[in-house]
Structure formats: C-alpha cells, structure tokens
Structure 1
Amino acid sequence: MSKNSDMTWRKSSYSGANGNCVEFAVADGDLVAVRNSRFPDGAVLLFDRAALGTFLAAAKDGEFDDLAV
C-alpha cells in the first residue's frame, strides 16, 4: 500500500470543522483506505471495494440509524 501522504484523501462535504471525520482514499489494487482525520499519521483500515459498497448501501438504507445519538 502507498504511504498515507502519497494518497489523495477525501471526506464528506457534511463534515464539520471539529475534525471528527472519517477520510477515504483509493489504495493499491481494489482497496479503499479509511482513516481518522484527527490522526492522519495513525492507523489506516483497508477494505475491498465490494465490502465497502455493502457497508455504504446498508448505511444509506438506515440499517445503523439506531446507533446515532
């Protein structure tokens, strides 16, 4: 995988200025990297695009709404 600084990271336009955001970047091959924007040099999680697509579809469908405050 490329180093964090070599990837183009992006976060949702809904993210506020408080820095509590999740950022995503295309990694090598069929992988998407995910990190905490408050700790850009910290841990990075890798997901294949199919798994991330399944998660995003479930989130859009409201499957995790009961976890929100």
Structure 2
Amino acid sequence: MNQPHNGMPATLLDGIVWRKSHFSNPSGNCVELAALPGGGVAIRNSRDPEGPALIYTRRELDAFVRGVKGGDFDDLII
C-alpha cells in the first residue's frame, strides 16, 4: 500500500474495506470510511470511489463524531 496521505486517489489504498452507514440512501448520497493499517481512517465520496481520499487519525475522527453526536453541525444539515 502507498503511504496514505490526504487527497490521494482512493484506488491506491489497496487491501482496505470501505463501508458506509446504514442510513445511506440508494442514490449514493453518502461517504464511505475504511480502517487503515497503522490506525488511521480513510474517507471517500461514495459517488466518486476513484476520487480523493481524506486521511484522519482515530483521534481526529473521534473528535468529529463527538461533535456530530453533540449537535455541533446540526445547522449544516438540510
């Protein structure tokens, strides 16, 4: 696997398993996440699976998920 870095094509992340929320709809309006060797997490747009991947540490993802659960981003939801 190439060294994961932000913006790299998601297709270069070999040997990982992408998954999405069961809240996703059939139109593909979702993001997909994958655990990376070494503890990071990759995120990609499900509509563009060959597009760029964003790479986060588990601590960064934890802070984001806590913010979502705490309502920090509710004003961004349509």
Normalising by the residue count of structure 1, what TM-score does the alignment of the two structures yield?
A: 0.90
Residue pairs, 1:1-69, within 5 angstroms: 1=1, 3-69=12-78
Structure with more relative contact order (C-alpha pairs < 8 Å, separation 6 or more) = 2
Alignment gaps of 5+ in structure 1: none
Aligned-CA RMSD value = 1.4
TM-score normalised per structure 2: 0.81
Q: Deviations over 1:12-43 (max 9, x none)?
A: 00000011110000112121000000111110
Aligned residues: 69
Structure 2 residue runs of 5 or longer lacking an equivalent are 3-11
Q: Contact 1:4 / 1:40 at 8 angstroms: preserved in 2?
A: no
Name the % identity.
Answer: 45
* Partner SS, residue 45 of structure 1: strand
Q: Deviating runs (4+, > 6 A) in structure 1?
A: none
